Amino acid sequence: MAQHFLLSSQAKTLTLAKVARMSAEEAYDTFRLIRWVKTAGEPVCPICGGVECYTFTTRKLFKCKACQKQFSVTSGTIFASRKLPIRDYLLAIAIFVNGAKGYAALQLSRDLGVAYQTAFVLSHKLREAVAAEQMVKEQLSGHVEVDGAYFGGHVRPENRKEDRKDRRRAENQTGKRRVVVVMRERQGRTMPLVFKSEAVSVPVIFNHVRHDATVYADEATHWDALHARFLTKRINHQEAYSTDEACTNQAESFFSRLRRAEIGIHHHISGKYLSAYASEMAWREDNRRISNGEQYLATTAAALNHPVSRIWKGYWQRQKSQQGI
**Three state DSSP letters for 68-105:** CCEECCCCCCCCCCCCCCHHHHHHHHHHHHHCECECCH
Rounded average pLDDT over 72-81: 93
pLDDT at 162 over 90: no
Distance CA 117, CA 66 (A): 38
pLDDT of amino acid 68 = 94
Q: What confidence tier does 112 reach under pLDDT thresholds 50, 70, 90?
A: very high
Q: What confidence tier does 41 reach under pLDDT thresholds 50, 70, 90?
A: very high
pLDDT at 136 over 70: no
- Residue pLDDT, tens place only, 276-305: 999 999 999 999 999 999 999 999 999 999
Q: What confidence tier does 169 reach under pLDDT thresholds 50, 70, 90?
A: confident
pLDDT of amino acid 153 = 75
pLDDT at 155 over 80: no
Quick check: 234 and 164 in contact, CB under 8 A?
A: no
Q: Which residues, in sequence order, are bridge partners of residue 245?
A: none
Quick check: 80 and 314 in contact, CB under 8 A?
A: no
pTM score, two decimals? 0.90
Rounded average pLDDT over 27-34: 94
Rounded average pLDDT over 221-241: 93
Distance of CA 241 to the CA centre of its chain: 28
pLDDT at 11 over 80: yes
Q: ∠ at Cα 38 (92, 296), nearest 5°?
A: 20
Is the pLDDT higher at 21 or at 177?
A: 21
DSSP 66: T
Q: What confidence tier does 325 reach under pLDDT thresholds 50, 70, 90?
A: low
CA neighbours closer than 13 Å in the CB half-sphere of residue 180:
30
Cα separation values, 263 from 57, 109, 197, 259, 315, Å: 50, 20, 22, 6, 25
Q: Which domains does the chain have, with CATH numbers?
A: 5-134+309-316 (no CATH), 143-154+174-287 (3.30.420)
pLDDT at 33 over 80: yes
Average pLDDT, the chain: 91
pLDDT of amino acid 1 = 60
Rounded average pLDDT over 268-279: 91
Lowest-confidence segment of 4-13, 162-171, 276-285 by average pLDDT: 162-171
Cα separation values, 95 from 18, 101, 109, 241, 310, Å: 12, 12, 11, 35, 24
CA neighbours closer than 13 Å in the CB half-sphere of residue 114:
19
pLDDT at 233 over 90: yes
pLDDT at 69 over 90: yes
H-helix segments, the chain? 16-20, 24-35, 86-98, 105-112, 116-134, 202-208, 249-260, 274-286, 292-305, 315-322
Q: What confidence tier does 133 reach under pLDDT thresholds 50, 70, 90?
A: confident
Rounded average pLDDT over 170-186: 85
pLDDT of amino acid 173 = 73
pLDDT of amino acid 303 = 95
DSSP 210: -
